[in-house]
């Protein structure tokens, strides 16, 4: 026993030669002496008063210890823990963020006898096996065992905790039914069980806990209905059910709950109409990725507390009501079957930052009033039936970073003025009927990374000022009526330069060989003539060279075997490699380099109300790590990452600790995003 304890003394001070001279209860003094005998990793060795040690708090006259924290000290041997329980005045014990793999039985027995112990925190350790049975612990109010590797079911382990207010078991591998034996039903306030393997339905027994304020059951495998009796939890403020297999209707009785401020039931299988009244007190509503139908209830968006609403990827019909909460920050209604026009009243919302209405059947023109939404950072109206021209007023959206209007029926010219949107990083207006030429003022888009004007009726030449877009990674100009000389292109281009299906003629400019990071060069279906410049073989990152259907002549220069070339439809071109039989490496053998880019999605995280760090892993066939590094440097916008996170169909692999998302880019490039 003695040697057993000595092994753990190193957590504390060496103090045995200096008797305590303070008023600390002598029993506790001895315990602290024992704990500190053989080491000094904890605090300042000259300090005699244990109440002054880091992680120790005492009562007001320093006669007894109330709080002990050993958080974040890389401890793995838990055998000393029973000794800590001899400090009978302990109120809070924080053992989080260590490497403990087990909780000694004697710890449970001993600490269970401390009637005043209110808080026990074992989160962020490596605990395995089942949750210990808590006998005693009559005063325990807060129990945190989140972020461990606990498994098995919860049957009666917590049943005698009659004072338990807050239970945190997030991020374990607990299974079986959602526990309903959680001490006194009149007391429990917080029940956090997300990211486990709980199955079955939401038990009626849970709804007896009438004091519940926060419930998080997300990322489990729950099925069945959400009981209407949920409306009896009158104190509920937060109900998170995301990423389960729940079905049936959203119960109308949710609207009985006066102070419900956050309700998330996204990524389930809810059906039926959204009931009237549920947003009455809500700030945040997420019902995305379900099978909800019918119209959006007329009162839903009007409630003035609302800040974020996500109803995307459902089967909603009808039109969008004109009156919307003045506090709305994020409104996502994409991928439904909404029709009617875009309400011009959206322009009166001063806080609106994300507006996503894409992939519906919205018609009419883009309201010029949207130009007054001065907070707007993301506007996605793509894949609708919008007509008319690009309103000049959009030019005043100085915070706008992403503008997507692709696949509509927009006409007219691209107004010079829209180049005033100085923070724009992505512009996609492809698949419309825009005409006229590309304004030379585009050079003002100094943050632009992705420009897609493909599939319009643009004519004239590419402005020479394009060279000054020094952050451009992707330029899609295919399927227009562009002609003239090809100017110097920004050397930042990486993802693609696509000039296909236009009216370009003359020789392929040598200056393209400057684009050392470029992967895809598409010049097909033009009237290029002359020889293919040998200098193109020096584009180090090139993987695809598309030259089909031009009037090229001469000999195809020898490219690396990793470059796929399509040069069909050039009658004057001679393929020498057809004789030489040089081995073509299969794409599967290409080396792949993964680069991690960490985007601190602080803005987005603020709107989600949670801390989110987004890790983007770009997995691209690369021959040179150098190239990958330049991607690392490049300006990947968090909005792209956040869009992907919100898209369940992009979920590749859901593991216990993370969900991987895949954003498929043009030409098969994929960004893997880890949340």
List binders of ligand NAG among 138-177 (CB under 6 A).
142, 144, 151, 166, 168, 173, 175
List binders of ligand NAG among 439-468 (CB under 6 A).
none
In the bound state with ligand NAG, the residue whose beta carbon lies nearer, of 441 and 544, is 544
640 touches ligand NAG (CB under 6 A): no
Q: Out of 62, 273, 435, 483, point to the residue binding ligand NAG (CB under 6 A).
A: 62
In the bound state with ligand NAG, the residue whose beta carbon lies nearer, of 119 and 660, is 119
**By CB under 6 A, which span of 104-112, 371-379, 560-568, 631-639 interacts with ligand NAG?**
560-568
Q: Out of 40, 197, 420, 634, point to the residue binding ligand NAG (CB under 6 A).
A: 197
**By CB under 6 A, which span of 290-298, 564-572, 638-646, 664-672 interacts with ligand NAG?**
564-572
User: Hey, is 380 helix, strand or coil?
Assistant: strand
User: Hey, is 539 helix, strand or coil?
Assistant: coil
Going from the C-alpha of 68 to that of each of 121, 327, 379, 570, the distances in angstroms are 11, 43, 50, 79
In the bound state with ligand NAG, the residue whose beta carbon lies nearer, of 488 and 675, is 675
Site string (375-414) toward ligand NAG, x via CB under 6 A = ----------x-----------------------------
425 touches ligand NAG (CB under 6 A): no
123 touches ligand NAG (CB under 6 A): yes
Q: What is the 3-state secondary structure of 202-254?
A: CCHHHHHCCCCCEEECCCCCCEECCCHHHHHCCCCCEEECCCCEEEEECCHHH
User: Distance between CA 165 and CA 117 in Å, rounded?
Assistant: 13
**By CB under 6 A, which span of 10-18, 89-97, 421-429, 445-453 interacts with ligand NAG?**
89-97
User: Distance between CA 501 and CA 578 in Å, rounded?
Assistant: 27
Q: Are 280 and 302 in contact (CB under 8 A)?
A: no
Residue with tokens 């009927």: 433
User: Distance between CA 365 and CA 376 in Å, rounded?
Assistant: 19
Going from the C-alpha of 16 to that of each of 39, 48, 458, 585, the distances in angstroms are 11, 10, 85, 72
User: Distance between CA 256 and CA 658 in Å, rounded?
Assistant: 34
Contacts of 600 (CB under 8 A, 6+ apart): 613, 614, 638
Residue with tokens 């001279």: 21
364 touches ligand NAG (CB under 6 A): no
Residue number closest to ligand NAG, CB atom: 228
Q: How far is the CB of 586 from ligand NAG (least distance, A)?
A: 12
CB atoms within 10 A of CB 70: 22
Determine the Cα angle at 254 with ends 251 and 257, to 5°: 165
**Nearest residue to 608 via CA among 646, 647, 636, 640:** 646
40 touches ligand NAG (CB under 6 A): no
565 touches ligand NAG (CB under 6 A): yes
Which helix (H) or strand (E) covers residue 603, if one does?
Answer: helix 602-608
In the bound state with ligand NAG, the residue whose beta carbon lies nearer, of 422 and 584, is 584
305 touches ligand NAG (CB under 6 A): no
Q: What is the 3-state secondary structure of 9-66?
A: HHHCCCCCCCCCCCCCCHHHHHHHHHHHCCCCCCCCCCCCCHHHCCCEEECCCCCCEE
Tell me, by CB under 6 A, how many residues bind ligand NAG. Answer: 65
365 touches ligand NAG (CB under 6 A): no
**Nearest residue to 156 via CA among 137, 121, 182:** 182
List binders of ligand NAG among 498-537 (CB under 6 A).
524
User: Distance between CA 184 and CA 485 in Å, rounded?
Assistant: 79
Which helix (H) or strand (E) covers residue 449, if one does?
Answer: none
Q: Out of 4, 19, 27, 594, point to the residue binding ligand NAG (CB under 6 A).
A: 27
**By CB under 6 A, which span of 255-263, 373-381, 455-463, 630-638 interacts with ligand NAG?**
255-263
User: Distance between CA 560 and CA 543 in Å, rounded?
Assistant: 9
**By CB under 6 A, which span of 4-12, 118-126, 505-513, 614-622 interacts with ligand NAG?**
118-126
261 touches ligand NAG (CB under 6 A): no
Q: Out of 82, 111, 118, 628, point to the residue binding ligand NAG (CB under 6 A).
A: 118
Q: How far is the CB of 233 from ligand NAG (least distance, A)?
A: 10
Alpha helices in 365-434 (DSSP H): none
List binders of ligand NAG among 340-359 (CB under 6 A).
359
423 touches ligand NAG (CB under 6 A): no
**By CB under 6 A, which span of 103-111, 229-237, 373-381, 592-600 interacts with ligand NAG?**
229-237
In the bound state with ligand NAG, the residue whose beta carbon lies nearer, of 227 and 487, is 227
99 touches ligand NAG (CB under 6 A): no
Residue with tokens 């504390």: 12
Q: Binding residues for ligand NAG, per CB under 6 A?
A: 25-27, 49, 51-52, 57-58, 61-62, 64, 66-67, 71, 88-89, 91-92, 94, 96-97, 118-119, 121, 123-124, 142, 144, 151, 166, 168, 173, 175, 197, 221, 223, 228-229, 231, 234-235, 245, 247, 253, 256, 258-259, 269, 335, 359, 361, 363, 385, 524, 548-549, 556, 565-568, 575, 577-578, 656
């Amino acid at each position: 026993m003695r040697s057993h304890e000595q092994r753990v003394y190193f957590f504390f001070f060496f103090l045995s030669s200096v008797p305590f001279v303070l008023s600390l209860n002598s029993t506790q003094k001895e315990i602290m002496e024992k704990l500190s005998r053989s080491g000094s990793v904890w605090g300042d060795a000259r300090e005699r008063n244990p109440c002054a040690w880091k992680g120790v708090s005492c009562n007001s006259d320093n006669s007894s210890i109330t709080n002990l924290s050993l958080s974040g000290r890389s401890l793995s041997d838990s055998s000393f823990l029973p000794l800590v329980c001899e400090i009978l005045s302990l109120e809070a014990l924080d053992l989080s963020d260590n490497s403990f793999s087990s909780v000694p039985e004697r710890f449970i027995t001993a600490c269970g006898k401390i009637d005043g112990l209110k808080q026990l925190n074992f989160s962020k350790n490596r605990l395995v096996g089942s949750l210990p049975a808590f006998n005693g612990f009559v005063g325990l109010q807060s129990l945190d065992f989140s972020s461990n590797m606990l498994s098995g079911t919860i049957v009666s382990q917590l049943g005698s905790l009659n004072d338990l207010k807050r239970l945190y078991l997030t991020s374990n591998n607990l299974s079986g039914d959602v526990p309903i034996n959680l001490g006194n039903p009149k007391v429990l306030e917080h029940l956090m069980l997300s990211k486990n393997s709980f199955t079955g339905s939401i038990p009626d027994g849970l709804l007896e806990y009438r004091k519940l304020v926060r419930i998080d059951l997300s990322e489990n495998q729950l099925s069945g209905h959400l009981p209407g009796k949920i409306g009896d939890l009158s104190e509920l403020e937060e109900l998170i059910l995301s990423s389960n297999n729940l079905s049936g209707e959203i119960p109308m009785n949710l609207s009985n709950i006066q102070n419900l401020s956050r309700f998330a039931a996204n990524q389930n299988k809810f059906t039926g109409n959204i009931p009237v009244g549920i947003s009455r007190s809500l700030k945040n509503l997420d019902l995305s990725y379900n099978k909800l139908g019918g119209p959006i209830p007329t009162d839903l968006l009007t409630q003035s507390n609302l800040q974020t609403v996500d109803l995307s990827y459902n089967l909603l019909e009808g039109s969008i009501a004109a009156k919307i909460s003045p506090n709305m920050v994020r409104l996502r209604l994409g991928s439904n079957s909404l029709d009617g026009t875009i309400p011009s009243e959206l322009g009166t919302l001063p806080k609106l930052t994300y507006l996503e209405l894409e992939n519906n059947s919205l018609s009419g023109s883009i309201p010029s009033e949207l130009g007054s939404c001065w907070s707007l950072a993301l506007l996605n109206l793509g894949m609708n039936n919008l007509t008319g021209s690009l309103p000049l007023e959009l030019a005043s959206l100085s915070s706008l970073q992403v503008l997507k209007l692709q696949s509509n029926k927009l006409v007219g010219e691209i107004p010079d003025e829209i180049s005033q949107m100085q923070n724009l990083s992505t512009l996609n207006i492809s698949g419309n009927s825009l005409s006229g030429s590309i304004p030379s003022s585009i050079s003002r888009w100094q943050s632009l990374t992705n420009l897609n004007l493909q599939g319009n009726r643009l004519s004239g030449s590419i402005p020479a000022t394009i060279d000054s877009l020094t952050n451009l990674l992707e330029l899609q100009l295919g399927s227009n009526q562009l002609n003239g000389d090809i100017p110097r292109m920004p050397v930042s281009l990486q993802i693609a330069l696509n000039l296909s299906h236009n009216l370009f003629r003359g020789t392929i400019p040598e200056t393209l060989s400057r684009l050392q990071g470029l992967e895809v060069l598409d010049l097909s279906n033009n009237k290029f003539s002359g020889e293919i410049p040998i200098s193109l073989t020096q584009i180090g990152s090139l993987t695809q060279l598309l030259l089909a259907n031009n009037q090229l002549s001469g000999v195809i220069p020898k490219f690396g075997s990793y470059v796929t070339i399509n040069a069909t439809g050039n009658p004057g071109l001679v393929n020498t490699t057809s004789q030489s039989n040089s081995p073509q490496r299969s794409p599967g053998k290409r080396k792949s380099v993964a680069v991690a880019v960490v985007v601190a999605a602080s803005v987005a995280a603020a709107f989600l109300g949670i801390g989110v760090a987004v890790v983007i892993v770009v997995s691209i066939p690369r021959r040179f790590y150098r190239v990958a590094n330049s991607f690392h440097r490049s300006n990947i916008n968090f909005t792209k990452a956040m869009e992907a996170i919100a898209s369940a169909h992009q979920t590749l692999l859901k593991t216990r600790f993370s969900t991987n998302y895949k954003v498929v880019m043009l030409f098969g490039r994929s960004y893997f995003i880890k949340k």
